[in-house]
Amino acid sequence: MSSANTPIDRRTPRRRFVALGTLIVFSVLIPFGTFAWVAVQAMSGKPFGERSTEFKLYAGSIRNGELWFPIASVPVKSDRGPKWQLRRLDLADGAENDTPFTFYENSGFPVWVGSTLYLDTATVIYRAEGTSLVPLTDTRFPTPRRISPPFQLDGVLTTVEHVQGNRFRLAHWEEDAWKPGKEFPLPGRDLAWYDDPEHYRVQLLPRASAEPLPTHEASDIHLDVIQETPEVHLMLSMRQPNFAAYRKGFEFFDEDGAEVSALVPENASATVSGWEPVDTANDNQNWVQMTCDRNGPLFREIRNHVHRVVFRDGEGHCEALQGQFEQNPTRPDLDVTFIAADQAEENAYIVRFNRWGTASIGKIDGSHVQPVHAVFAGCDRQYLARWQRIGKGLVLAWLIHCGMIAFSTIWLIRRDNIVLNSETSLPVPLASVWRRLMANAIDLLLILFPQYVIGLFCLSQTFDRVRWPRPTQLADMLLSLELYLYSAAKHSPTVAANISPVSFDSLAPWFESMPQDINVWQLMLLALVIQFGIMSLVEGRFGWTVGSWLAGIRTKRLSQQPIGAFRAFIRYPATLLDLTLLITPLPLAISLVLSRSRRSIGDRLAGAVVVLPTRSAQGISNPYLQVHI
């Protein structure tokens, strides 16, 4: 029971804390549930009734005018890795047809050898039998160190495996088992091409280095072998260091095990039976693929992320294909080139694509690439649409969160409409939340306008040269994020970082092309500091800024005296605490609800209160704050 001199306040602290706790719980759970529902619908295999996203890798084998290539479905829902399926693409009309062949591997490429379809993966070679893929494995003679795709040699399925050092051997699949074949040497990574002006050629000689390079590692070596009766073409490529060489036919060890012309030029002429550089005009050779058409070998090179294809004439000269860099002007992001030959028709095609299935295909005719006759749309835009739904769901959840906090806070503090002057004890009317929001919005616009003007005049020409991320690059980054989140949910963040690390490499060109003029950024920062300084001086002396003056409110101390420039300057960075770096207004709401004078965190640090501009509070009454005399 209260005494006669005790203020009557029906809103007890206990009830206020309960209301505040309820506000916090519901303002978090309802938006989180909304976002979770949108995210689950968008990231599921069939968001809102749509089919799952497919990755089409137009890198495969051509037979009878059809390109056989693998596709994968995303998101990955199997612990065995992505599910791949082989598909056929008719190069004439662009029609795609599914096949019954599916597999679970990190990657795999179909290879036609004769009339039989094989699947080449990093560990196992599969053979198509009926509607299934059968692994060609043999425990007596495993071939885990293969360095070449399967090929046909004298009518037998053959591959090449690493034995030891620079010794390699053929492996033949006969009688349902891998059987060892002849051994042969390959140039080691301690060799390099050097010009020999005296004989007008280049020679394969030891590198000029005091430290010998390490021996062969099978993971760094790739050998393409193509039999074009009666000739066999070989192209060797290594990643570290970048090295490539070409020759016709194998050089097997003789009966005594001695090596021949490839490494001992005295035994034979290097230009006749030895290895030759793919392109003598290119010192830094990074050739990664070889195929053949009716006119001879074709080679693919990667330099500075740009793919280039050259053809080799009968005299051993290489020239770049003309017309190979013509792209679809609406999709300038076909960053991967693949060359495939139809052995039955002896035609070769150049396929430009990206990992999202966007592709253009052109037929190679001698030294030219015919105009693009087939363009296929990818799924990167559909994939980005899924993330757009997630982004919209996040914005919707944030708006619900802020709206719930705003209206609930206004309702909880609706009766806290006066504050007592600390010196005169007279009531002073408090500014409403809506007036304060309007004042802050006006001040924010006035702060951003000079920054915009400075950027417009100083950086307008620079921003024209900014290389904004393409849809494919954004999709690549988001895919790596999705795979990381999936792995983290299935295992742990540490395991996910090793299995599927998040990659921001696709954004590197954007960051590198951003304006680097430090003076301009310093000018913008200086303008910002000057603005805050002027606003602090004015508000500290007169109690208002332009926004608060237009909104009809003032910032004062509890004694209704000016707060001073220093206290005014403290209030501005404290706004970041009120809004938690513009993420949530929950700290601001808690501070307002727990304060009977509607004071934010910035107001508390500065010892200020926001009131209406009146010198007297006569006529203002608060039925819940009465003093009985």
Quick: pLDDT tens for 284-334.
567 888 998 888 899 988 876 678 888 888 777 788 888 776 544 444 556
Cβ neighbour number for residue 341 with a 10 Å cutoff: 21
Residue located via tokens 């070989």: 234
CB contact at 8 A, 275 and 236 = yes
Question: What are residue 351's DSSP bridge partners?
Answer: 338, 361
Q: Which of 190-194, 583-587, 621-625 has the lowest mean pLDDT?
A: 621-625
Contacts of 89 (CB under 8 A, 6+ apart): 58, 66, 67, 68, 69, 95, 96, 376
Residue pair 349/291 in contact by the 8 Å Cβ criterion: no
Angle at 27 between CA 23 and CA 31, to 5 degrees: 165
Q: Is the pLDDT of residue 491 over 80?
A: no
Strand pairing partners for 109? Answer: 120
The 10s digit of each residue's pLDDT in 114-127 is: 889 999 988 889 99
In a 3-state reduction of DSSP, which class is residue 514? coil
Least confident stretch, 98-107, 138-147, 580-589: 138-147
Give every CB contact of residue 127 below 8 A, 6+ residues apart in sequence: 116, 117, 118, 119, 133, 134, 136
**pLDDT value, residue 256:** 47
**Model confidence band, residue 397 (pLDDT cutoffs 50, 70, 90):** very high
Question: For residue 80, what pLDDT band results from cuts at 50, 70 and 90?
Answer: low
pLDDT value, residue 10: 45
Residue 139: exposed, middle, or buried by beta-carbon count in 10 A (0-12, 13-18, 19+)? exposed
- Residue 465 burial by Cβ neighbours in a 10 Å radius (0-12, 13-18, 19+): exposed
Q: Is the pLDDT of residue 431 over 70?
A: yes
Residue for token pair 């030959």: 341
Residue 628 has pLDDT above 60, yes or no: no
Stretch (H or E) spanning 461: helix 433-463
Backbone angles phi, psi at 127, to 5 degrees: -120, 135
Q: What is the pLDDT of residue 78?
A: 55
Indicate whether 31 pLDDT > 90.
yes
Distances in Å between the alpha carbon of 99 and those of 68, 75, 85, 385, 417?
9, 21, 7, 28, 74
What letter represents residue 479's amino acid? L
What local confidence, expressed as pLDDT, does residue 492 receive? 73
- Inter-residue contact 486 to 497 (CB < 8 Å): no
- Condensed to tens digits (0 to 9), the pLDDT of residues 251-296 reads 887 644 444 433 333 333 333 347 888 875 555 567 888 998 888 8
Average pLDDT over residues 192-208: 65
Q: At what angle do helices 13-43 and 380-412 cross, to 10 degrees?
A: 170
29: which 2 tokens?
């759970």
Most confident of 188-202, 346-360, 425-439: 425-439
Q: Where is average pLDDT lowest: 7-16, 81-90, 141-150?
A: 7-16
Percent of residues, the chain, with pLDDT higher than 90: 16
pLDDT at 28: 92
Residue 258: its pLDDT value, please?
A: 42
The average pLDDT across 215-221 equals: 57
Average pLDDT over residues 156-172: 88
Tell me, what's the pLDDT at 5?
40
pLDDT in tens, 531-564: 888 988 999 999 999 999 999 999 999 888 899 9
- pLDDT in the model for residue 394: 93
Q: What is the dihedral of CA 578, 579, 585, 586, to 10 degrees?
A: -60
Residue 455 has a pLDDT of 76
Q: Strand runs (DSSP E) across 165-220, as ranges?
A: 167-174, 177-185, 191-196, 201-206
8-state DSSP, 146: B
Asked whether residue 399 carries a pLDDT value surpassing 90, the answer given is yes
